[in-house]
Amino acid sequence: MDGYIIGTIIKAILVLAIISALAGFGTYIERKVLAFMQRRYGPMHVGPYGLLQIAADGIKLFTKEDFIPSGANRLIFMFAPIITAATAFIALAAVPLLPEFKLFGMTVRAIVADLNIGILFILGMMAAGLYGPLLAGMAQRNKWGLIGAARTAVQFLSYEVVTGLSMLAPIMIVGSLSLIDFNNYQSGGMGEWLIWKQPLAFILFLIAGFAETNRTPFDLLEHEAEIVAGYATEYSGMRWGMFFIGEYANMITIGFIAAIVFLGGFNSWGFLPGGLAIVLKVSLFFFLMLWVRASWPHVRPDQMMWLCWKVLMPLAVINVTLTGLWMMV
């Protein structure tokens, strides 16, 4: 029992450290990829290929003045970024990151907490994470912030239905909510990946995932061209940094869920061992998010609601119904 607790603590610290480092590295990758897609160089002067730009940004964020506007609700203003960052990492706790491996003669399972309702827990936690932007926007007494908060509510209520319904069909097929069961279900090679059985659910989940992490086609919350920085207008320094880390951690989480549920998870893929395979798949999703950001314009809030309620949700319901019929027959 003690060993279990110590192991869990070590795993939690490792996940926290690695994923926040990856989130920092993600900003570098994002800037580079966006730059290349616009035929620019991106950061290139700090360190080799601009790699130390992350460190420079980190130093800047840490040493910047932490500013709280005078009219703001201090307590909630200070509390909001912590919600975003914390829920992002709590959600990661239920994600199996890698296959089991042996270390010092012990079998290590690369999951902090193996819940038998893993996927629901992750979606619930990521949904709770949206309280961060909402509270931040409402607490800062800034018009742009308030618009950002209103858009958070609108966006949340729109996409959450689609996320749940699109996940329902794969859950029905596998018959479990545990991500490990999802992984084991697809252990028979590429032909058994759930994406072939549930292509529509995959697309719907991907679209909802973009909305969940507020990436570009649906980055209504802080669209710079319209509402300055939305919910983050008054934030500076490390509090803003926490929003940022939360967003990138959420991107990684969505990448893991999509990879595990639809793309065969961490089963070995051809000659690739499982650990490498899932890292590749998650990187693919991360790259897709950056690629889409470089390519597509973002939608208006009303278009977003139109898309979610009038197009995606009926499609998701039809998909669930068809899956049910197919399973009965």
Binding site for another protein (CB under 8 A): 33, 36-41, 71-73, 75-76, 115-117, 120-121, 123-125, 127-128, 130-131, 134-135, 138-139, 141, 146, 149-150, 153-154, 156-157, 160, 164, 177, 291-292, 294-296, 302, 305-306, 309-311, 313
Q: What residue type is assigned to position 259 of the chain?
A: A
Nearest distance, CB of residue 14 and another protein, angstroms? 23
Query: Given the complex with another protein, which of 38 and 63 has the nearer CB atom?
Result: 38
Nearest distance, CB of residue 229 and another protein, angstroms? 18
Nearest distance, CB of residue 312 and another protein, angstroms? 11
Query: Given the complex with another protein, which of 269 and 286 has the nearer CB atom?
Result: 286
Query: Given the complex with another protein, which of 108 and 203 has the nearer CB atom?
Result: 203
Nearest distance, CB of residue 138 and another protein, angstroms? 4
Query: Given the complex with another protein, which of 117 and 272 has the nearer CB atom?
Result: 117
SS3 per-residue string spanning the chain: CHHHHHHHHHHHHHHHHHHHHHHHHHHHHHHHHHHHHCCCCCCCCCCHHHCCHHHHHHHHHHHCCCCCCCCCCHHHHHHHHHHHHHHHHHHHHCCCCCCCEEECCEEECCCCCCCCCHHHHHHHHHHHHCHHHHHHHHHCCCHHHHHHHHHHHHHHHHHHHHHHHHHHHHHHHHCCCCHHHHHHHCCCCHHHCHHHHCHHHHHHHHHHHHHHCCCHHHCCCCCHHHHCCHHHCCCCHHHHHHHHHHHHHHHHHHHHHHHHHHCCCCCCECCECHHHHHHHHHHHHHHHHHHHHHHCCCCCHHHHHHHHHHHHHHHHHHHHHHHHHHHHC
Query: Given the complex with another protein, which of 153 and 279 has the nearer CB atom?
Result: 153
Nearest distance, CB of residue 3 and another protein, angstroms? 17
Query: Given the complex with another protein, which of 139 and 211 has the nearer CB atom?
Result: 139
Query: Given the complex with another protein, which of 92 and 138 has the nearer CB atom?
Result: 138
Nearest distance, CB of residue 62 and another protein, angstroms? 27
Nearest distance, CB of residue 103 and another protein, angstroms? 28
